[in-house]
Amino acid sequence: MDSGGPIRAVGDRAVLVELPGLPEVLSLQAQLDAEPSEGQLDVVAAARTVLITAGSPRQAARIARRIRSLDFSVQPRAEEAHVDIEVVYDGADLAEVARHAGLSESGVIQAHTSQDWTAAFGGFAPGFAYLTGGDRRLEVPRRASPRTSVPAGSVALAGGYSAIYPRESPGGWQLIGRTDAVLWDLDRGVPALIRPGHRVRFTAVRESVSTSARPGAAPGGPATQAARRRRGAPGEISVPAPGPGAFIVETGLSSVLEDLGRPGYAALGVAGSGALDRGSCRQANRLVGNPPGAAVVESLFGGLVLEARSELVLAVTGAPAPLAVTSPGGTRWNVDSCAPFLLRTGETLAVGAPAGGLRTYTAVRGGWEAAPVLGSRSTDVLSGLGPGPLARGGFLRAGTAPVSAVGNPELPSAVSRPAVLRIVPGPRADWFADGEPARLCTARWTVTPQSNRVGLRLDGPALRRVESGELPSEGVVRGALQVPPSGLPVLFLADHPVTGGYPVIGVVISDDLDRAAQLPPGAEVRFEASPGHSPFGTG
């Protein structure tokens, strides 16, 4: 079957399976979870699709062949826990939802609270659950323009679903209320309060809000204040006792710890995250003799200044940037990027602004230490997982893990101008008017200043859709070009949401994503269709 059938290519390493409805979706998800295929990394269930990500195009093609032989009438055993959520119904979109539903605002509240909802699947963000089975009058569309920030605890509606935003994040759902229920807490045995199969009942309250569990409910209740400020809170940094490592004198615009990410948790709403330019991360670690996945510092536009507390072997890769070392006596000299060098006790390293490109990667022999979260030391800016951004006055501890010999100096990666990124068309190219997928590739796009680790926001000619309806939320991958109603694509990067409700016109192939990570605001981008990189070849 080619990529235009019920199994569609999603870039070069994933496939999207279209199914008749939720029972078949849950059946496929359960079978793949019970017996994973070779190379299977993530399985993301949605309303009528399942997204499967693999380690290579060949493995993705083999998974597609296996799926064709499965029986989707086999149903998984449902989990019958119950969760009660108290809600203050004062959401910014409550009046709009009432107008759309033909109800009063009190009528919307009564409809939302009158019956149990069922958690069908997760996605979008850690702890975010798509709840189904509510009053059909509450089927409302998403906002035409997503909010850049939705407060944590917001209770929302979109399509036939209800959900609660676990933390502050962008979002396009209609907000009807708020709760202080803690949807995701790594201090719980199972971090997600609401999981697939759970029954959820909303209760209207006036001011104070809380959550409680009925018999058979999921473990855990409201988190304590200490739990809310636990590891990984945005902006929070834990300063260990000084040891081998470096003091943080300056962080520049933004500096975060990253490794090769945390694949395998997308079903919980956790993106892979990790270094945006993985090639530069691996190169920096190779130069200092580390394993490829050791933690490095990813800095935006340079500006990182470190003062060594002990002798350190460092290397800086990524966007070529001037590197200056200053001794305690004030003597200053330059060192080369993409080469290992020694930073002695008391000396400082200053990473200057790159002349071209955007991000630099600073590795230390032994790796930078931090408490792993779900197996990774990466900072995920969307979900808030992992260590917080580096802060001036903090301390970076160098690890002592076994390492190999330092590497020879290497050349930096070249960045072409304008950047040309190869894409596999689809999986939703058919949602666009004739000629629009081709126009995506003939137009020149500009990276806007609103871009970040979640994605590159692009400016250019608005792409016209032929499908005017709502796309039920489905899994998306790093590299996806999602097109909201504005018609301006967003190129998802490492910290992207796990699911999305806007059509994806194409997906940048894995080999070109490092190049995308180095595109600064104002950079020009072109796309080139490359269907031969699909798991199905040219179809």
Residue 211 is predicted with a pLDDT of 52
Alpha helices in 308-359 (DSSP H): none
Residue 221 is predicted with a pLDDT of 34
Between strands 341-343 and 174-178, the pairing is: unpaired
Residue 464 is predicted with a pLDDT of 96
**Is 90 exceeded by the pLDDT of residue 287?**
yes
**Is 80 exceeded by the pLDDT of residue 297?**
yes
Residue 233 is predicted with a pLDDT of 37
Q: Residue 130 and residue 473: Cα distance in Å, rounded?
A: 9
Backbone angles phi, psi at 314, to 5 degrees: -120, 165
Residue 415 is predicted with a pLDDT of 66
> What's the CATH architecture for 419-533?
Beta Barrel (2.40)
Residue 80 is predicted with a pLDDT of 67
**Is 90 exceeded by the pLDDT of residue 180?**
yes
Residues 6+ apart with CB under 8 A from 416: 515
Structure tokens at 103: 């109800």
| In the block, residue with structure tokens 């126009």 | 439
Q: What are the distances in angstroms from CA 496 to CA 88, 167, 275, 425?
A: 29, 15, 13, 19
Residue 1 is predicted with a pLDDT of 35
pTM score of the predicted model: 0.85
Provide the CA 330 distance to its chain's centre, in angstroms: 43
Top CATH class, 7-67: alpha beta
Which helix (H) or strand (E) covers residue 108, if one does? helix 105-113
Q: Residue 433 and residue 483: Cα distance in Å, rounded?
A: 13
CB 86 within 8 A of CB 61: no
Q: Residue 359 and residue 511: Cα distance in Å, rounded?
A: 17
What is the total residue count of the chain? 539
CB 318 within 8 A of CB 360: yes
CB 162 within 8 A of CB 128: no
The neighbour count for residue 422, using CB atoms within 10 Å, is 20
Name the band, by pLDDT with cuts 50, 70 and 90, for residue 414: low
Name the band, by pLDDT with cuts 50, 70 and 90, for residue 2: very low
Q: Residue 98 and residue 262: Cα distance in Å, rounded?
A: 41
Query: Which CATH code fits 82-217?
Result: 2.40.100.10
- Domain definitions of the chain by residue range: 7-67, 82-217, 245-397, 419-533
Mean pLDDT of the chain: 89
Residues 38-61 have a mean pLDDT of 95
393: left (phi over 0), alpha (psi -120 to 50) or beta: left
Give, rounded to a whole angstrom, the gap between the first and last alpha carbons of the chain.
Answer: 8
pLDDT tens sequence across 373-390: 999 999 998 888 999 999
334 DSSP assignment: E
Identify the residue with better confidence: 224 or 368. 368
Name the band, by pLDDT with cuts 50, 70 and 90, for residue 401: confident
Name the band, by pLDDT with cuts 50, 70 and 90, for residue 338: very high
pLDDT tens sequence across 216-270: 444 333 333 333 333 333 333 444 446 899 999 999 999 999 999 999 999 888 9
Residue 122 is predicted with a pLDDT of 85
Residue 347 is predicted with a pLDDT of 98
Q: List the one residue out of 311, 251, 319, 253 whose CA is nearest residue 284.
A: 319
Domains 82-217 and 419-533 share a fold: yes
The neighbour count for residue 67, using CB atoms within 10 Å, is 21
**Is 80 exceeded by the pLDDT of residue 37?**
yes
pLDDT tens sequence across 481-518: 999 989 999 999 999 989 888 999 999 999 999 999 99
